[in-house]
Amino acid sequence: MVKEIEGHPVSRRNFVKGTFAGAVAGAGVLGGASMFGCAPKSEEAAAPEAAEETIAWSQCNVNCGGNCVFQWHVKDGKVQYMESDNTGDIDLQARACLRGRSMRRWLNSPDRLLYPMKRVGKRGEGKFEQISWDEAVQTIADKLKYTIDTYGNDAIYVNYATGMYSATGNPSSRLLNLLGGHLKRGYDYSTNMISAALPYMYGEECSPYDDVFASSMTEAEANSDLVVMFGNSPAETRMGGANIVWDFARVREAVQGRGGKIVNIDYRMNESASGHPEEWLPIRPGTDAALACALAHEFIANDQVDLDFLHTYCVGYDEESMPESAKGQNKSYKDYIMGTGYDMVEKTPEWAAPITQIPADTIRQLAADLSAAEAPFVVQGWGPQRHTNGEDTCRAICMIPVLLGKIGLPGTNTGQREAEPSVSLVGGLPSGKNPVKARIPCYEWLNAVDHGKEMTATNAGITGVDQLSNDIKFLWNYAGNCITNQHGDINKVHEILSDESKCEFILVWDTVMTDSAKYADILLPDAMRSEQLNMKTNGYTEWYTGVCVGGPAQEAPGECRTSYDVMADIADKFGMKEQFTEGKTQEQWIQEIYEAGAAEDSEMPSWDEIKAQGLYKRALPTAIGMKDFRDDPVANPLATPSGKIEIYSEQLAEIAATWELEEGDAINPIPMFFAGFQGYGSTTDEFPLYCSGFHHKSRTHSSFGFIPELEAVARQQLWINPADAESRGIASGDMCSVKSPAGEIRIEAKVTSRIVPGTVGIPQGAWHKADMFGDKVDKGACVNTLTTYRPSPLGKGNGNAHTMIVQVAKA
Ligand SMILES: Nc1nc2c(c(=O)[nH]1)N[C@H]1C(S)=C(S)[C@@H](COP(=O)(O)OP(=O)(O)OC[C@H]3O[C@@H](n4cnc5c(=O)[nH]c(N)nc54)[C@H](O)[C@@H]3O)O[C@H]1N2
Ligand SMILES: Nc1nc2c(c(=O)[nH]1)N[C@H]1C(S)=C(S)[C@@H](COP(=O)(O)OP(=O)(O)OC[C@H]3O[C@@H](n4cnc5c(=O)[nH]c(N)nc54)[C@H](O)[C@@H]3O)O[C@H]1N2
Ligand code: SF4
Ligand SMILES: [Mo]
């Protein structure tokens, strides 16, 4: 007997047995819930011959945070069509967006990799030859052994890769740790700058993915009267039912319903503001800190700061609250803003207007609205921090609620991204212990290939050791496209990886022939998660926590195998198969991992029950960031040296004094406006336009980028303002050349006043398509052909991902 579980009908069974209609009857009515790809259920046709069908549950395992639910309808061993989540409360349905709904096209794509291959052309040329699994496994084992014997385990590096999230998803570390470990990696490509900087202000436990330091959107919905969003577009980056786009629609309704408003600050009118143009506050990219400083100026000049809060909860606002080491030097935040310290420039709205392109009066109005709001909910996406000055920008935005003392209270937020609680119901395959001490910031891998042994703690943010003792010689790349496409400066990557004496061996393991795959020495085909038993707890939705178990829906094509089995075979070459598998199949591991999770949580169904019902989920409570600290700062201090919010960080001052930085870079102890490399003021006659990026609806990064139907829905286009287009004779639909100091792309123009003049915008993740042995012009319009490889000052991250200078011409 399957027990009654909240949000899930008891009648669900794996086998539909002709009761198809009855089985979904408990699913609820979906009226009006069709926004952003969450299609109403009525659009999903019932199976014509339901009696012969089975349902296999699975999930979308790419990295957009949703992990939305699939119900594959299977007949004769082949997927017929997909239904998404139609179970339980309609507010808790993890319904797939259009990308997830195109997953069948991925599974059945003619572009699938079908067998192991070895490279026969030059790196980057894309010429491969089929080999046997045994040859592939033997070659990898031989190269691993050679690398370990010749250089040591710290010459092996597992590249950052986010293509596939699943409980048994990526056992690479488990395997390599058995062999003595591998060079470690820190940060990620999503949040590198904010992850590096914000802990200096809010404490080292502060994570960009939690509900302790950030409030949930549901809190804004319940209590806020003003939502101010910096570079945050849930309608693009948090699509699908398992994400917050639906909640965001409810936030708007609730906030406006109580007479409040939404302000969406972005260099383009993003999809979240589209249809609500009055909400858009256009800003030049990379200048949010200048806006934040001018707002601060207004709060201070008009006596609107919460001095009690600043003196009780914070360090460094004014002279009185400065740490001893920095007293008497005019180094406080207030000194910076009011022009009595640092650059001695007063950060008035008139100062900020030409930098931000926002009129001074508009800045004054926003300051007045913020200080008048009872519960301002200030929230930043990760767009503003993905800039060369992102480390200052993210802290500068957080200063807004700090100055107003609107933190830890109902309806407020800390200035971070909305909470993304990782309430994992189940864990993953244990990865064991990695004995290698050295760790590099993940974006530094290319430098570590090129000149790893020169990299130190103070010139490259190396931790664990003072200096690397090896260059990277073996690059292991599973389920990622960050060798080229998603990294930065693809032309530079090509140059460094072409020299086979540097990185001697590259393993790429994917499901399709990506641009990164062209650099592989051995290229392995993977079975998709819908082609094996899959289990995944919820993504980073704040809505619900859940777990989905099911599959395979159909057999993997060609010679595709599960990576677990292949890694067990690699372990076998070292006589370590038993240690790798512990005598268990992948299925047995999944059951064990599930049962360990269920043992901790009395509400979770049993293994037999979850196998029968596929999905278990429940709502999460709303969160108010830093509530405990606000309630009692003595009992619940922050994990900063002072236990308080550090507006001035002595640790950052120390780093600034001791690290070796690239010319023009800076690390600042207080959050300042600092233009950054290729930022404001850096355009030239040759490159007179700013250029920035954004995450696009038709792809998850480069994933789904080969599916023509999705490209047709939301095309890869250059956003350009009419003022910039007309002077260049460019009309919508024209093919353009975009050149940066790093490279050149071809892209179709979208002439629109939805972007600020002087800046062009390019959706990130398009597939790089260039003749790397010819003109290198990228006809696929990958933004990373244009980015310069320059790790950010503090976190050594991909700040350049959204900061570029370019010229545009009709091609
Ligand atoms: N300029 C610029 N660059 C960026 C960004 C930006 O905004 N601007 N964004 C950055 C961010 S935030 C991120 S997270 C990274 C993401 O970069 P990546 O982690 O490289 O993400 P994807 O491009 O989605 O690549 C995932 C790969 O996994 C493969 N894959 C999917 N399923 C499976 C599977 O089951 N098995 C295997 N073996 N492979 C599978 C897909 O085919 C795809 O090639 O990109 C970063 N790069
Ligand atoms: N559809 C889709 N969804 C995704 C992904 C995807 O590739 N496609 N990727 C997923 C992943 S791994 C991540 S990390 C997240 C990324 O989530 P984010 O990092 O938040 O996404 P971005 O699109 O880079 O930036 C958000 C918004 O900031 C704007 N922006 C860029 N620079 C600036 C700036 O300097 N100032 C201001 N005010 N605005 C700016 C952009 O135009 C965009 O509208 O999205 C996730 N969701
Ligand atoms: S791409 Fe993201 S939102 Fe779309 S179905 Fe997959 S997990 Fe859900
Ligand atoms: Mo990301």
Percent of the chain residues topping a pLDDT of 70? 94
The first and second tokens of residue 558, run together, are 């060609």
**Locate tokens 């259009």: which residue?**
98
Q: How far is the CA of 380 from the centre of ligand 4 (A)?
A: 15
* CB of residue 509 inside a 6 A radius of ligand 1: yes
**DSSP alpha helices (H): ranges in 600-679?**
607-613, 627-631, 650-658
Q: How far is the CA of 280 from the centre of ligand 3 (A)?
A: 26
Question: In this predicted structure, what is the pLDDT of residue 739?
Answer: 98
Q: How far is the CA of 531 from the centre of ligand 4 (A)?
A: 25
Q: 664: number of CA atoms within 13 Å, CB side?
A: 13
The first and second tokens of residue 131, run together, are 């080999």
Cα 584 to Cα 592: distance, rounded to the nearest angstrom = 10
Q: Which atom of ligand 3 is nearest to the CA of 700?
A: 1
Do the bridges between strand 54-59 and strand 69-75 make them parallel or antiparallel, or are there none, so unpaired? antiparallel
Cα 495 to Cα 789: distance, rounded to the nearest angstrom = 13
Closest CA to 413 of 619, 193, 640, 623: 623
The DSSP bridge partners found for residue 203 are: 639
Q: How far is the CA of 595 from the centre of ligand 1 (A)?
A: 30
DSSP 8-state assignment for residue 549: E
Q: How far is the CA of 265 from the centre of ligand 2 (A)?
A: 13
**DSSP alpha helices (H): ranges in 461-540?**
490-498
Residue among 162, 237, 262, 759 to mutate when testing ligand 2 (max atoms within 8 A of CB): 237
* CB of residue 237 inside a 6 A radius of ligand 1: no
Cα 693 to Cα 717: distance, rounded to the nearest angstrom = 11
* CB of residue 64 inside a 6 A radius of ligand 3: yes
Cα 106 to Cα 100: distance, rounded to the nearest angstrom = 10
Cβ contact 305:647 at 8 Å: no
Q: How far is the CA of 496 from the centre of ligand 3 (A)?
A: 34
* CB of residue 702 inside a 6 A radius of ligand 1: yes
Strands (E), 307-399: 314-315, 376-380
Burial (CB count <10 Å: 0-12, 13-18, 19+), residue 190: buried
For every residue of 93-151, DSSP letters joined together read -----TTGGGHHHHHT-TTB--S-EEE-S-TTT--EEE--HHHHHHHHHHHHHHHHHHT
Cβ contact 285:759 at 8 Å: yes
- Closest residue by Cα to atom 3, ligand 3, is 240
Q: Which domains does the chain have, with CATH numbers?
A: 12-107 (no CATH), 117-189+438-529+557-611 (3.40.50.740), 193-421+628-658 (3.40.228.10), 689-810 (2.40.40.20)
Q: Which atom of ligand 2 is nearest to the CA of 693?
A: 31
The first and second tokens of residue 537, run together, are 């707890």
For every residue of 719-760, DSSP letters joined together read EE-HHHHHTTT--TT-EEEEE-SS-EEEEEEEE-TTB-TTEE
Q: What angle do CA 783, 68, 379 make, to 5 degrees?
A: 60
Residue among 189, 388, 704, 707 to mutate when testing ligand 1 (max atoms within 8 A of CB): 189
Cα 210 to Cα 223: distance, rounded to the nearest angstrom = 20
Closest CA to 700 of 100, 31, 82: 100
Cα 293 to Cα 307: distance, rounded to the nearest angstrom = 17
Question: In this predicted structure, what is the pLDDT of residue 542?
Answer: 80
Cβ contact 586:562 at 8 Å: yes
The first and second tokens of residue 346, run together, are 């007063």
SS (H, E, C) 350-404: HHHHHHHCCCHHHHHHHHHHHHHCCCEEEEECCCCCCCCCHHHHHHHHHHHHHHH
Q: How far is the CA of 702 from the centre of ligand 4 (A)?
A: 11
Residue among 481, 512, 536, 691 to mutate when testing ligand 1 (max atoms within 8 A of CB): 481
Cα 115–chain centre separation? 30
Cβ contact 380:415 at 8 Å: yes
Q: How far is the CA of 383 from the centre of ligand 4 (A)?
A: 10
Q: Which atom of ligand 3 is nearest to the CA of 96?
A: 5
Q: How far is the CA of 693 from the centre of ligand 2 (A)?
A: 8
Question: In this predicted structure, what is the pLDDT of residue 51?
Answer: 55
- Closest residue by Cα to atom 18, ligand 2, is 382
Q: How far is the CA of 731 from the centre of ligand 2 (A)?
A: 26
pTM passes above 0.85: yes
* CB of residue 234 inside a 6 A radius of ligand 3: no
Q: Which parts of the chain have pLDDT scores under 70?
A: 1-51
pLDDT digits (tens, 9 = 90+) for 69-106: 999 999 999 999 999 999 988 878 899 999 999 999 99
pLDDT digits (tens, 9 = 90+) for 490-499: 999 999 999 9
Mean pLDDT, rounded, of the chain: 92
**Locate tokens 């740790």: which residue?**
177
**Which residues, including other chains, have CB under 8 Å from residue 737's CB and lie 6 or more apart?**
744, 745, 746, 777, 808, 809, 810, 811
- Closest residue by Cα to atom 10, ligand 1, is 189
* CB of residue 234 inside a 6 A radius of ligand 2: no
- Closest residue by Cα to atom 23, ligand 1, is 702
* CB of residue 386 inside a 6 A radius of ligand 1: yes
Counting ligands in written order, which one lies closest to the CA of residue 381? 2
